């Protein structure tokens, strides 16, 4: 279990380090955060929101620059990190369950989770199934009924690659609802959730599969109609009006953690500095406010505990992917 953070940290409004810290490392100059996608979507949100707080709380000496590096569902950024910047201790890379899904399915050829260092998870983002505001579907069961009649009749758009986390959420949901031939369900992959939502709003694709954080703005504007959130229970206000899949009789949960990895050959001092920094950031009221505004639920692991979790999740997703028939 995660050790308790001292109350002094919980009351802090700024992040500071005790004098005489045993860690020799401190960042110098600009920090780079790679979002493995185009602007918009969960990875971009993770980099920009955390980077903004690191600057506001005077944790870093200069700016945190978000670099968007789309391609191969995060594979381009992963390869860049291990081949071009393997010792860069000023670099953090946004990651999520989508990252571990691709590693589990060996979608990053020649690369593995052991080639980077896993820093921390700073919240969990629950999946949703949504449609455009003018869609004839008004509940998850309406959509499920159409899939049962013809699995090809409903198309889904998501920000992960085919077989990735957004795709898996649809297959898990359909399987839990008793849909036959789930591999026939149409799924179209886009570089990020924002791009996928645009396709829904344009009427080109039936439904969106993604995460709540990348959808909040579209939900608030009324452009997206959320049929179900894939959480254990309803989300807190102002998202508490969204029904869960479970309360509609479909027993499925899809939690997507949000966090970071960094290059695998950085020093232990620099790695521990980033672990400690993320622990302290997570404890601030400022981050709790960001989480609430964007639909993130409490979820925090860091350091070795987070690394162990990532490796176990990769094993679990690999097993699931084989069971569904996505991989051999």
User: Rounded CA gap, 229 and 227, in Å?
Assistant: 7
| Pairing of the two strands 64-68 and 116-132 | unpaired
Domain range annotation of the chain = 30-124+256-324, 126-248
What is the fold of 30-124+256-324? Answer: D-Maltodextrin-Binding Protein; domain 2 (3.40.190)
User: Rounded CA gap, 111 and 94, in Å?
Assistant: 17
User: Rounded CA gap, 187 and 199, in Å?
Assistant: 12
> For the segment 237-283, what is each residue's pLDDT rounded down to a tens digit?
889 999 999 999 999 988 899 999 999 999 999 999 999 999 999 99
User: Rounded CA gap, 214 and 221, in Å?
Assistant: 13
Residues sharing a CB contact under 8 Å with residue 57, sequence separation 6 or more, in sequence order = 14, 15, 281, 284, 286
> If phi over 0 gives left and psi between -120 and 50 gives alpha, with beta otherwise, what is residue 112?
beta
Phi, psi (deg, nearest 5) at residue 218: -75, -30
Preceding peptide of 37 cis, ω within 30°: no
- For the domain spanning 126-248, the CATH number is 3.40.190.10
Averaged pLDDT for residues 29-44? 92
Whether 183 shows a pLDDT value over 90: the answer reads: no
Q: Is 201 helix (H, G, I), strand (E, B) or coil?
A: helix
pLDDT at 327: 84
pLDDT band at 163 (very low <50, low <70, confident <90, very high): confident
Domains 30-124+256-324 and 126-248 share a fold: yes
Q: Which two tokens stand for residue 303?
A: 């350091």
Q: How much of the chain, in percent, has pLDDT values that exceed 90?
A: 71
User: Rounded CA gap, 121 and 94, in Å?
Assistant: 10
The answer to whether 252 and 230 are in contact (CB under 8 A) is yes
Whether 85 shows a pLDDT value over 60: the answer reads: yes
């Amino acid at each position: 279990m995660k050790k308790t953070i001292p109350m002094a940290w919980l009351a802090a409004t700024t992040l500071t380090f005790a004098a005489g810290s045993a860690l020799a490392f401190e960042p110098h100059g600009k920090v780079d955060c790679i979002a493995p996608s185009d602007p918009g979507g969960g990875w971009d949100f993770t980099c920009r929101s955390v980077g903004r707080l690191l600057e506001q709380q005077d944790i870093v000496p200069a700016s945190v620059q978000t670099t968007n590096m789309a391609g191969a569902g995060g594979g381009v950024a992963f390869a860049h990190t291990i081949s071009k910047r393997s010792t860069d201790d000023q670099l953090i890379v946004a990651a999520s369950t989508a990252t571990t899904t691709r590693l589990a399915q060996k979608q990053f050829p020649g690369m593995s989770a052991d080639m980077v260092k896993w820093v921390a998870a700073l919240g969990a983002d629950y999946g949703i199934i949504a449609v455009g505001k003018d869609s004839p579907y008004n509940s998850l069961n309406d959509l499920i009924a159409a899939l049962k009649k013809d699995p090809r009749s409903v198309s889904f758009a998501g920000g992960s690659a085919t077989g990735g986390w957004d795709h898996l959420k649809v297959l898990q949901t359909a399987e839990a609802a008793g849909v036959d031939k789930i591999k026939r369900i149409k799924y179209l992959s886009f570089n990020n959730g924002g791009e996928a939502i645009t396709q829904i709003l344009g009427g080109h694709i039936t439904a969106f599969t993604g995460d709540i954080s990348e959808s909040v703005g579209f939900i608030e504007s009324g452009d997206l109609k959320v049929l179900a959130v894939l959480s254990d229970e309803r989300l807190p206000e102002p998202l508490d009006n969204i029904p869960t899949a479970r309360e509609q009789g479909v027993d499925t949960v899809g939690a997507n953690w949000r966090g970071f990895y960094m290059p695998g050959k950085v020093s232990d001092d620099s790695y521990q500095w980033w672990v400690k920094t993320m622990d302290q950031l997570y404890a601030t009221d400022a981050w709790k406010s960001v989480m609430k505004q964007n639909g993130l639920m409490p979820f925090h692991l860091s350091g070795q505990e987070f690394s162990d979790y990532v490796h176990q999740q990769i094993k679990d997703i690999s097993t699931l992917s084989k069971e569904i028939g996505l991989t051999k």
